[in-house]
Amino acid sequence: MEVNTFSEMHDFEFSESILEYKRFKTREVKIGDIALGGNNPIRVQSMTTTDTMDTLKTVEQSIRMIEAGSEYVRITAPSLKEAENLAEIKKELRRMGYTTPLIADIHFTPNAAELAARIVEKVRINPGNYADKKKFQQLTYSQKEYEAELERIRERFSPLIKVCKEYGTAMRIGTNHGSLSDRIMSYYGDTPRGMVESAMEFIRFCEAENYHELVISMKASNPKVMIEAYRLLVHSMMKENMNYPLHLGVTEAGDGEDGRIKSSAGIGTLLEDGLGDTIRVSLTEAPEEEIPVAKALVSRYAIREKHGISPEMGTLTRFTHYRINPFDYERRKTLEIGSLGGHQVPRVISDISQLNLRNPDCLKAIGYTYNAITDKYSFQDMASDMAYLGTNLPSFEPPGNLDLILDFTAWAKHQEKERFYPLMLKEEFNGFYLNNQADKSRKFFVQVFPHEMDKDFLDKIKNCPGLVLVLHSRDEEVLIPFRQVYFSLLEKEILCPVIFRKEYPGIEYDEVLLRASTDFGSLFVDGFGDGIWLENLSLSFGILQACRTRTSRTEYISCPSCGRTLFDLMEVTQMIRSKTGHLKGVKIGIMGCIVNGPGEMADADYGYVGSGPGKITLYRGKEVVKKNVDADKAVDELIGIIEKDGNWVETLS
């Protein structure tokens, strides 16, 4: 059976414009007394981690979530008994004066979904395992066989639709990248297209029954996959005259800084696209800790000023005008200038102009340690590639692999020095260009604000093979102006590498982390950018890793826990992190139960999955290596598997 390719689609439209903020207008869906979509604000929500059969603990945790600002509370119902107990949880919450809508989370059990839909305001089902099969089998279908299988699923799904219509219950059709059915995987592959088609089948079933109280999600642990899937979903809905509201989330994002960076890069990019009606930030932390992060992410869009489109852009406001496929990642083609651009990973630049440059110990701040006995430097995986000095020259010999950037006036006095490169403002570049003071093929940096990118400047930089563009911003919103520059460069076929620079003065670091991850994560996810220049080194590397453009540390794909979880996820995640955090490039999935098991771990190299009380199953990719390992031995067994594969390295003493 043939599948249409992207090239057969009419265009790549998924929003009104990507160069000015316009929220995608969705239909309104009533969830209890809190409506979603339409002209309503972007809602925030989370999910309980307690045992659903423990009414008191679930109610107490729900109250903590509600008081933190959660507008919906999701509770797992893996079987009929948990679905039945949702009535007790709801009754107790209502008795205490809490009217927040409840959502039942369903996997595998249609009968539990049908019961829960009679009790709560919304049910979430996963098309990959609601009435379909997930055994990691490659299947072959004829057209007739595929249609027969679809009819079987429709018959199994229809009773839930009828219950939801009767009781006024909303439904989320929630596709997860890691839990696509064998049927979808065999037909579409492990792709965003498969995710979208999995959801669209169920949406069409609902529309055939004249049921429209739907919310749709396309979650993945990889922000690039998640972004592509949501964009393709909206494109597909638009082609079929649908506009259902969207629930955004990066699933299994992990904890701490990494989880926040990954969530912001994925969710923030789509919010900037104007997509999203409710979000859940999935952190391996207490659910009430997710809410402040979610609220901070959506607060930027409560009142968003429209950016005017640059005159250079005209009416070219969509990806399609540039033959760019926003549903499939491709990095912008650039010249390779020294260690920048081309096929090289994006570089990290640090500002050390305010440090004491008389002692090499100052470079510890950017990842370099000097040994006076050997007169050599050692450096970390997260060490800066370039350092901005301002007008100051170091009084010591810097590391050989560290490029040094000087203000143009200082560089002009020392331009004979190797590895020292000038940073020019636009006016300085104009003089440099006209006077031909040096070979313009030698690497040099020109720093401009987006509004300075006029036609004359664009024409000049096209003819400078050594030029590296530093896009600098002090504005509140940077993504749309930077996107305008991106398309200007594409339109005029300018191939210079681009570095993004921004400061966030007067803002606490927790907020900087979310904003920068949205601003720059969005750009790198779309293939734009050859370098990043932020005030925090770890944040810069974290953004690049979240966008899968540069790996510098271990990646953890850990679920946020729920009532199905069979061990303390936060404690175990920290234990695994403490023992494996030095394994650069290794991806480890940590899942509380088999529902979030080998599939949900997506592209993890190794997996640690709860399989029963006190029991863990260990995976290599999606392959089971050891079953039912005692929990107190499981971390050491996991390390043993990594060692056997040759992927273990000892920590530096």
Q: What is the DSSP string of 396-458?
A: SPPPTT-EEEEEHHHHHHSTTSTTEEEEEEHHHHHHHHHHT-S-TTS-EEEEE-GGG--HHHH
Instruction: Return the higher-pLDDT residue of 2 and 484.
Output: 484
Residue 610 sits at the vertex; the CA angle it makes with 608 and 611, to the nearest 5 degrees, is 120
Instruction: Return the higher-pLDDT residue of 603 and 638.
Output: 638
pLDDT score, position 323: 55
Rounded Cα distance between 614 and 376, Å, is 49
Q: Which of 434-448, 539-553, 630-644 has the lowest mean pLDDT?
A: 434-448
pLDDT score, position 184: 87
CA distances from 151 to 144, 148, 637 (A): 11, 5, 44
* Residue 500 scores a pLDDT above 60: yes
Q: Which of 1-5, 311-315, 430-434 has the lowest mean pLDDT?
A: 1-5
The residues, any chain, with a CB within 8 Å of residue 590's CB and separated by 6 or more, are: 284, 556, 557, 558, 559, 569, 572, 573, 576, 607, 608
Residue in the block written with tokens 């498969």: 194
Confidence of residue 583 (pLDDT cuts 50, 70, 90): confident
Tell me whether residue 530 is exposed, middle or buried, using C-beta atoms within 10 angstroms of its C-beta: 0 to 12, 13 to 18, 19 or more.
Answer: buried
Query: Which two three-digit tokens encode residue 390?
Result: 């301002």
pTM to 2 decimal places: 0.88
User: Does residue 181 lie within any of the structural domains?
Assistant: yes
pLDDT score, position 566: 67
Task: Give the β-pairing of 122-125 and 102-106.
Answer: parallel
Could you say which of 546, 580, 610 is where a domain stops? Answer: 546
Could you say which of 489, 524, 546 is where a domain stops? Answer: 546
pLDDT score, position 561: 65
Could you say which of 518, 546, 574 is where a domain stops? Answer: 546
Closest CA to 122 of 163, 180, 82: 163
Rounded Cα distance between 233 and 601, Å, is 22
pLDDT score, position 20: 77
Q: Where are the beta strands (DSSP E) in 29-147?
A: 29-31, 34-36, 43-47, 72-76, 102-106, 122-125
User: Does residue 580 lie within any of the structural domains?
Assistant: yes
| 508 and 395 housed in the same domain | yes
| 368 and 503 housed in the same domain | yes
Task: Give the β-pairing of 376-379 and 368-371.
Answer: antiparallel
Confidence of residue 568 (pLDDT cuts 50, 70, 90): confident
User: Does residue 650 lie within any of the structural domains?
Assistant: no
Confidence of residue 134 (pLDDT cuts 50, 70, 90): low
Over range 398-402, report the average pLDDT: 91
Over range 601-611, report the average pLDDT: 81
User: Does residue 154 lie within any of the structural domains?
Assistant: yes
* Residue 78 scores a pLDDT above 80: yes
Domain of residue 620 covers 555-644
| 539 and 563 housed in the same domain | no
Quick: pLDDT tens for 157-209: 999 999 999 999 999 999 988 788 888 888 888 889 999 999 999 999 999 99
| 568 and 536 housed in the same domain | no
Write the Ramachandran bin of 276: left for phi over 0, alpha for psi from -120 to 50, otherwise beta. left
| 397 and 419 housed in the same domain | yes
| 538 and 422 housed in the same domain | yes
| 131 and 265 housed in the same domain | yes
Q: If you ran DSSP here, which 8-state letter would residue 44 be given?
A: E
pLDDT score, position 441: 61
| 463 and 541 housed in the same domain | yes
| 401 and 455 housed in the same domain | yes
User: Does residue 313 lie within any of the structural domains?
Assistant: no
pLDDT score, position 621: 85
User: Does residue 393 lie within any of the structural domains?
Assistant: yes
User: Does residue 140 lie within any of the structural domains?
Assistant: yes
Rounded Cα distance between 536 and 369, Å, is 18
* Residue 603 scores a pLDDT above 80: no
Rounded Cα distance between 247 and 271, Å, is 11
Phi, psi (5° rounding) for residue 273?
Answer: -70, -10
Q: Which of 79-83, 121-125, 267-271, 559-563 has the lowest mean pLDDT?
A: 559-563
Rounded Cα distance between 441 and 86, Å, is 69
CATH of the domain at 57: 3.20.20.20
User: Does residue 307 lie within any of the structural domains?
Assistant: no
pLDDT score, position 318: 52
Q: How many CB atoms lie within 10 A of CB 434?
A: 9
- Total domains in the fold of the chain: 3
* Residue 150 scores a pLDDT above 70: yes
**What is the overall mean pLDDT for the chain?**
88
Most confident of the ranges 299-308, 386-395, 415-424: 386-395
| 565 and 457 housed in the same domain | no
| 559 and 537 housed in the same domain | no
Over range 489-498, report the average pLDDT: 92
pLDDT score, position 653: 44
Distance of CA 315 to the CA centre of its chain: 29
Query: Which two three-digit tokens encode residue 512?
Result: 């900087």
CATH of the domain at 590: 3.30.413.10
Over range 214-241, report the average pLDDT: 94
pLDDT score, position 436: 63
* Residue 10 scores a pLDDT above 70: no
Share of the chain above pLDDT 70, in %: 90
Confidence of residue 137 (pLDDT cuts 50, 70, 90): low
Write the Ramachandran bin of 38: left for phi over 0, alpha for psi from -120 to 50, otherwise beta. left
Over range 507-519, report the average pLDDT: 95
Share of the chain above pLDDT 90, in %: 62
Distance of CA 169 to the CA centre of its chain: 30
User: Helices (H), strands (E): how many in the chain?
Assistant: 17, 27
| 392 and 526 housed in the same domain | yes
Query: Do residues 533 and 553 make contact, with C-beta atoms less than 8 angstroms apart?
Result: no
Rounded Cα distance between 81 and 326, Å, is 44
Query: Which two three-digit tokens encode residue 81?
Result: 């008994």
Q: Which of 43-57, 545-559, 591-605 has the lowest mean pLDDT?
A: 591-605
Over range 324-351, report the average pLDDT: 90
Closest CA to 468 of 500, 516, 490: 500
